[in-house]
Amino acid sequence: MKFNYFRDAKNFGGLMDTRCKCSVCGFKEKCFDGEAFYGETEVEAICFKCLKSGRLKGSGIFSNDADVEALFDQMLAQFPDKSKDELLAEAKEKIDEVELRTPPILSWEDWKFPALDGDFCEFISFTSKAELSELAEDGDGKAFLTKYLRVDEDNLVNPEIVWYQLSETKIEHINQTNHNCLCYLFQSKVSGEYLVIWDLI
């Protein structure tokens, strides 16, 4: 089952090892671990179908925290001729898609699901030196990381340190993410531009 903002839910979506009872529909299915969701109610597991179909809506349970402010600012800049009401309606649909119909992303720190070019990004993978080097046209993964790494307002993120902490080999599954530093690779759904977010344990 495909998700608009999450490329590989099977390998990176935090699925439980065995089929179990979905906390929403009650059927025994392949489910995402409920611990990754947040909100007013605790859940043990949520199946693919319930998440994809939007059955979290109105439950007080969310899968991600969308960067609403960044999205709307970008939409205002990109579509100056549209009314705010039009943009709000379009933004609401995108926000619901990320927060209610997209698998949660394993993270240690709290950060918002990023937006670029007036839409939310697609989560590609937990990235590595090997993958970034593959994506770089000249094979220079460190330069690729430096270009696309998101820095905070105080510019405290040092690409050299992040590069040093990254896994040498390509991460193919969420079970391979036992490293001191995780980097999340995103890609714009509009321009194809990449974005890397880091998370230090």
Q: For residue 156, is pLDDT > 90?
A: no
The pLDDT value given to residue 110: 83
pTM of the model: 0.94
Q: For residue 159, is pLDDT > 70?
A: yes
Q: Exposed/middle/buried for 50, CB within 10 Å: 0-12, 13-18, 19+?
A: buried
Pick the range with the lowest mean pLDDT from 3-12, 50-59, 179-188, 189-198: 179-188
Is residue 127 very low, low, confident or very high in pLDDT (cuts 50, 70, 90)?
Answer: very high
Give which of 112, 37, 125 is closest to 72, Cα–Cα: 112
Is residue 57 very low, low, confident or very high in pLDDT (cuts 50, 70, 90)?
Answer: very high
Reported as type and span, the H/E element at residue 115 is strand 115-116
**How far apart are alpha carbons 27 and 6 in whole angstroms?**
24
**How far apart are alpha carbons 98 and 65 in whole angstroms?**
8
The pLDDT value given to residue 23: 93
Q: What is the pLDDT of residues 71-114, one digit of tens each?
A: 999 999 999 999 999 999 999 999 999 999 999 998 878 889 99
Top-confidence residue, 176 or 132: 132
The pLDDT value given to residue 84: 92
